């Protein structure tokens, strides 16, 4: 079982997720009219933030979508731009970053049709420093549904640590240890690389991409605890298949 290349991941995620609809090419979504694009985003917001994913409002509450105002926010792995829109509505200065250029174009257009404009747009590369973001640039990095798809996350988190201002926050949504149990019927392994159930785990969550890993709070602390302290942690959804964390930057 191979580890996917950056190019193969980029090809896969040129079809960003639209909750409960599917994985749709960003180049196709860019063909929507302004009205069609606004309607799609309105439906996506209803599904994500009023449905089972936001059970007990934990998704929005833990990740600070409603109480973050006037800060510099990087939406890392922005996809269609629905998260960036939440921050823009609260008068935050938003940067967009994605591995797919058309995803960036789509996210920018989503902001623009709602009357907002990104502070900057960054194409994520496969090697450090990953983007042209300067040290200490942002207060918040919002990285939802992304880090668990990166086979070697430590260099990426190292870069995020540099990009954050002192006491900045890294906000994550990740597939959980319980998500592994649900999708495979087995206990989560220490290393998913050559595990025979890895493909079943990936496909249980996504119809695209060839890599996903599970996380829990101890694993996050073990991997990144020298850079960040866990400030908030909660399992999401009634079956605990996702986790949300806010990591606060510290000096290593």
- Length reported for the chain: 252
pLDDT of residue 2: 85
- Average pLDDT estimate for 16-22: 95
**CATH superfamily entry for domain 6-14+25-249:** Vaccinia Virus protein VP39 (3.40.50.150)
User: Average pLDDT, whole number, for the chain?
Assistant: 97
**pLDDT tier, 1 (very low <50, low <70, confident <90, very high otherwise):** low
Determine contact, residues 94/108, Cβ cutoff 8 Å.
Answer: no
Element holding 95 (H helix, E strand): strand 93-98
pLDDT digits (tens, 9 = 90+) for 185-224: 999 999 999 999 999 999 999 999 999 999 999 999 999 9
pLDDT of residue 146 exceeding 80:
yes
The domain limits of the chain are 6-14+25-249
CB atoms within 10 A of CB 105: 18
pLDDT of residue 133 exceeding 70:
yes
């Amino acid at each position: 079982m191979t580890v996917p290349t950056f190019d193969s991941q980029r090809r896969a995620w040129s079809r960003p997720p639209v909750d409960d609809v599917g994985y749709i090419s960003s180049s196709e979504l860019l063909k929507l009219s302004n009205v069609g694009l606004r309607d799609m985003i309105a439906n996506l917001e209803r599904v994500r933030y009023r449905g089972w994913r936001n059970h007990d409002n934990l998704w929005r509450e833990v990740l600070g979508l409603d109480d973050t105002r006037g800060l510099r926010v990087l939406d890392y792995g922005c996809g269609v731009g629905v998260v960036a829109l939440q921050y823009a509505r609260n008068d935050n200065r938003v940067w967009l970053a994605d591995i797919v250029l058309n995803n960036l174009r789509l996210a920018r257009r989503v902001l623009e049709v709602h009357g907002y404009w990104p502070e900057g747009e960054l194409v994520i590369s496969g090697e450090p420093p990953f983007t042209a973001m300067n040290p200490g640039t942002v207060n918040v990095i919002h990285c939802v549904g992304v880090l668990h798809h990166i086979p070697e996350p430590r260099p990426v988190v190292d870069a995020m640590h540099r990009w954050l201002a002192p006491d900045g926050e890294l906000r994550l949504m990740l597939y959980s240890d319980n998500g592994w149990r649900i999708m495979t019927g087995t206990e989560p392994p220490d290393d998913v690389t050559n595990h025979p159930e890895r493909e079943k785990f990936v496909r249980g969550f996504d119809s695209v991409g060839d890599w996903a890993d599970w996380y829990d709070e101890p694993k996050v602390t073990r991997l990144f605890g020298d850079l960040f302290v866990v400030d908030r942690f909660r399992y999401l959804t009634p079956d605990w298949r996702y986790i949300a964390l806010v990591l606060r930057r510290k000096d290593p």
